[in-house]
Amino acid sequence: MAADGDDTLPPVSSTAVGVAMIRAAESARPDRLFDDPLAPAFVAASGWTRPATNPEQQARAAALVAWIAVRTRFLDDVVRDACATGCAQVVILAAGLDARAFRLDLAPDVRLFDLDLPEILAFKDGVVAAEGRAATCERIVVPADLTGPWPVALAHAGFDPARPTVWLAEGLLVYLSRAQNEVLLDDVSVLAAPGSRLGLTLSSRTEGSAPTTPVFEHERLWRSASPGDAEAWLGPRGWSVDVYRAGERSAAYGRPALTGSARGRARLVDATRLA
């Protein structure tokens, strides 16, 4: 996917606009797994157009579209359930063009922190304002780089580490190095009060599986593979972990099970912070 003359967003925003494009298409389906009314506006404001694809790209794109639809629905359910069972805060790490503050009907007393690079958040807020949309909960924008002291920025924005929180890391970890992912999860674990939830996505990539010739631009930004064992990775940090295969969740949502697809072997994690 390529931008048409838009130089206001950093390169990593290509992933945010691409996800918005997929969410817009999913929202237009009669059997949609979710509804994201802001997604078409994000795409239109970016100036991006759907690129031409060859047969190899079409097959990869179909798997990517299915994966993003399933993971969006899964994490929507995690947020809704967590907020209904005691989590009064939501932190969306590398939020991009995530619109959950506007579309999940979260209660007014829920505080949702959108954390990402300043340029992405500025673009997002411009579109939201132009569309006249208002969050149903208290939405707090936190301009911060996840490779820097983002916990300090989150604290300055009013985050309360004593309150159970639902944390989301959607489509994120593959864009950080292994060392950065370790630090990120250490920081989240320190800030997460007992009863907090963590929803994250783990791609099907393993060490040494990076494409030698990336098919899509976002693949050039990949920096690491997913942890092989989510329970072994999160358990020592104090989390109880439930792991789901993307293919299994797809079937549960009434979609093709993605059998035989690498995307179908990607994993979805719903973890709970223990006392």
pLDDT of residue 259: 55
Residue of 259, 225, 231 whose CA lies nearest to 245? 259
Nearest to 252 by CA among 77, 103, 30: 77
Pair 134, 54: CB distance under 8 Å: no
Fold topology of 61-273: Rossmann fold (3.40.50)
Per-residue model confidence as pLDDT tens digits over 162-194? 999 999 999 898 889 889 999 999 999 999 999
- Would the pLDDT of 61 be above 90? no
Tell me the pLDDT band of 51, cut-offs 50, 70 and 90: low
pTM above threshold 0.85: yes
Token pair, residue 242, equals 């439930």
Cα dihedral 54, 59, 63, 65 sign = positive
The 3-state secondary structure of 92-120, one letter per residue? EECCCCCCHHHHCCCCCCCEEEEEECHHH
pLDDT score recorded for residue 174? 85
| Res 1 pLDDT > 50 | no
| pLDDT computed for residue 258 by the predictor | 65
Question: Which one is predicted more confidently, 174 or 72?
Answer: 72
Mean pLDDT to the nearest integer, 249-270: 78
**Contacts with 159 (C-beta within 8 Å, 6 or more apart), sequence order:** 89, 91, 111, 113, 165, 191
Confidence band for 68, pLDDT divided at 50, 70 and 90: very high
The 3-class SS string of 17-51 reads: HHHHHHHHHHHCCCCCCCCCCCHHHHHHHHCCECC
CA distances from 198 to 108, 125, 134 (A): 21, 25, 25
What is the residue type of 111?
Answer: R
Q: Is the pLDDT of residue 220 over 70?
A: no
